[in-house]
Every structure is written in C-alpha cells, then in structure tokens.
Amino acid sequence: MMKKHDVIIIGGGPGGSTLAALLAKQNVNVAVFEREDFPRFHIGESLLPSSMPIFKESGFYETLNSGKYIRKYGARFADCTSHDEVYFGFEDGFNAEIPSAFEVERKEFDKDILDNARKQGATVYQPVRVKDVEFLDTHCVVTTNKGDQYEAKFVIDSTGRDAMLGKNNKVRKIHPDLNNVAVFAHYFGVKRNEGKHEGDILIGMLPEKAWSWVIPFKGDITSVGVVCSTKIFNAGTDLEEYLNTMLAKSPRVKEKMAGAERTTEITVISNYSHVSETYTGKRWMLIGDAAVFLDPMFSSGVHMACTSAKLALPIILQCLKENATFDDSGLGQKYKEDIDRGVNRFHSLINLFYKGDFVKDMKKTLTLDNVRKGFTSAVAGDMWNEDNYILQRKVL
C-alpha cells in the first residue's frame, strides 16, 4: 500500500530540515527523504545572525544555543597588501535582536537540524535515495531505491548542488560571472582571539581577488580554506603545498596558522555557483542550494537555504488549503520574486568585494552611521529587511 504525505522533501540539509520543521509545526503531514547517514562532512560552516529568527520559529535555536556551538559576534576582513582591516560587529547593525550567530561543524549541525525536524513531527526516511518522481494532475508519486512508492501533493527539491528536480526540468544553469574554486580542510591548533571574539570569522584578502577563511569551531578544530577564480587556480597535484602557499600570503592568516596541524583530507569544490530560471513547477519547488548558490563569500549559503524555507512556508500552506498548484495560483512566481530580491542584493555585495578594494572602500563608507549600520546588517544576512537604509537607497 502506497504511503501518503501532504509534502515530500528530498534532502535533509539545512533548508529541507528547516522547511520540514516549519510545516510540521503547522500540522502538515511532511516527510523528508535523506540519502546519506549522518554525521557527514559538509562545507558551509559559518551561520549568519539573520538566520536566528528562523531557527527560533522552527524550534532549532534551543539546540544551537545549548553551548554545543561557538558564538560568532562579527566578521573581520584583513587586507594582504596594506595590513589594514575592517570589522563588522553584528551588534552594530540595525536589528539589535540579532547581535550574533554561531560557527558550526556541519557533520554535527546537519544531524542536529534534521533531528529537530523529527522532533517537530516530520517523518524522516534515512538513508533512502529517491530514484524517480512522477508528476500527475492531482498528486506526485515518489519512488525510492528500495522500490517503495509514496504519494504527496507537492515535492520539494532540497538536494543541494545535485539539484535533482532542477536538473531534471532543465532550469538550472551556471552563474555567468561567478566561477570560483574552493580548497579547504580542518586544522588543530589554529590561534584564536581571546574572550568574546574567539568565534569570529576571519577573511584574509589575497592577491588577484582570492581570499581565505578561518572559522573556529567549539573546541580545538578550525575550518580553513582558500577561494580563487578558476582562471588563476594552479594547485596541480600537491594541494597541501598550494593551500599553505596561499594562506601564507595573508600576514594575519599566516600568524593564525603557525604550528597548526591538518586533521582532515583537503577538499576541492569548483563550478558551484548557479542559478535557476524558475524555482517552481505545478507540484514541485526548489529551495536552498537546489535553487541558487552564489559564492561562499559572506557565508550566504545556509542563510539563503533557511530563508527560502521560510518564504516557501506560506505558499505551500495556501496551496494545500486551496487545493491549488504553485503555477496555477501564481504563488510560484511570487516565491521566485521574494527569493531573488535577497539573492540580487547578496550578488551586489559580492560584486563590491570582487570588483573593488573592499577593505579600503568599506573603511571610508563605514564612517557614516546609517551606512555602517546598513552594511553591517547586510553582512549579517539581513537582505530581506526593507527598513535597511542602504537597501532603501538601492546601494545593494
């Protein structure tokens, strides 16, 4: 007998788990199909303050705030040529209610956030791989690798860069002006700030618009990586030598890395920036990285995934209530417009980083109070806040 759910979500990462929890709290019969066992290694380890209200709504913030994860109060950008730097302290933004976020080791974070979806009432099938989705006039049929079939009104693609439905429906394409490579690993013994700012992220600016990140976790492990354009990427076969050489080009990062020991394999990810022509069909929807991913700069990935889940919630609820589809109701187009508003602003901020002298330009800009607060809020992920001074004036 075919099992029935109102909504099936493929993928149990941050976006899928957040949407599942939000739907379950609204008494929607929602199921998540996750193909992997957790814990698992994943990138995207620095959260943004603007995600915190969403996590509070989904019931997950209590776990985040339990002491398991290190708190992040700001982001520091250090120039490699002038030895100058600029700091965005999140408590200085327009929204005083979100003065901090967390740095998270994803193998623990992903397990915790999916467990929260279970706790809120979502059904989780794991590890189960979805092999096929058939879309009919009145419902969808999902077939798994075990040969089981499940029926739902809507299927949500939260499969990340794999973008199962996005690729199947041929709506995904490579982003035209963001084509970078990330090389990263975890290290033991990276030097840290003392006290309150121990968990702050450090971005080390490098020559030719490359950059590095240093993200401390609770305990002694730190995530360290380098991002550069595919046009200048020349790691060859010795990734360790490449990573060490690139990191040493930032005096601030070189100082932090002195004596550190690598604890994981070095990972390389390329061609990860993409967009989608549409985010919905009649009975399918893309959320998170399955819909769009720009660049790891400004740590927007998890935040956009969770924000897309938040924006998807009222649309799914309305379509379920009215027995309507995303396309016929016109709500699919609204969903895309809502997401793209924030995505386009993130893209503008990313362009300021790659196309200008970011530290020098920001130091001048941040002398103006409203502009400083506006950019601090933007770096904190507050891209959907129409009260932000710089968003009102279309600076982003």
Three-state helix/strand/coil letters over the chain: CCEECCEEEECCCHHHHHHHHHHHHCCCCEEEECCCCCCCCCCCCECCHHHHHHHHHHCCHHHHCCCCCEEECEEEEECCCCCCEEEEEHHHCCCCCCCCEEECCHHHHHHHHHHHHHHHCCEEECCCCEEEEEECCCCEEEEECCCCEEEECEEEECCHHHCHHHHHCCCEEECCCCCEEEEEEEEECCCCCCHHHHHCEEEEECHHHCEEEEEECCCCEEEEEEEEECCCCCCCCCHHHHHHHHHCCCHHHHHHHCCCEECCCCEEEECCCEEECCCECCCEEECHHHCCECCCHHHHHHHHHHHHHHHHHHHHHHHHHHCCCHHHHCHHHHHHHHHHHHHHHHHHHHHHHHHCCHHHHHHHHCCCHHHHHHHHHHHCCCCCCCCCHHHHCCCC
Chain CA centroid to CA 347, Å:
14
pLDDT at 40: 81
pLDDT at 96: 84
Strand order in the sheet with 7-10: 123-125, 30-33, 7-10, 154-157, 284-286
Question: Is 128:146 a contact under the CB 8 Å cutoff?
Answer: yes
Residue ranges in the chain modelled with pLDDT below 70 = none
**What's the rounded Cα separation, in Å, for the pair 341 and 292?**
12
Write out pLDDT tens, residues 156-165: 999 998 889 9
Write out pLDDT tens, residues 97-115: 899 999 999 999 999 999 9
Query: What is the amino acid identity at position 357?
Result: D
289: nearest Cα among 265, 268, 308, 261: 308
52: nearest Cα among 37, 38, 32, 73: 73
Question: Is 365:371 a contact under the CB 8 Å cutoff?
Answer: yes
pLDDT at 57: 98
140: nearest Cα among 130, 131, 151, 148: 151
Chain CA centroid to CA 148, Å:
31
Q: Assign a CATH topology to domain 3-69+104-174+273-355.
A: FAD/NAD(P)-binding domain (3.50.50)
pLDDT at 42: 80
pLDDT at 199: 97
Q: What residue ranges do the domains of the chain occupy?
A: 3-69+104-174+273-355, 71-103+180-266
Q: Which CATH code, of 3.60.15.10, 3.30.9.100, 3.40.630.30, 1.25.40.340, is assigned to 71-103+180-266?
A: 3.30.9.100
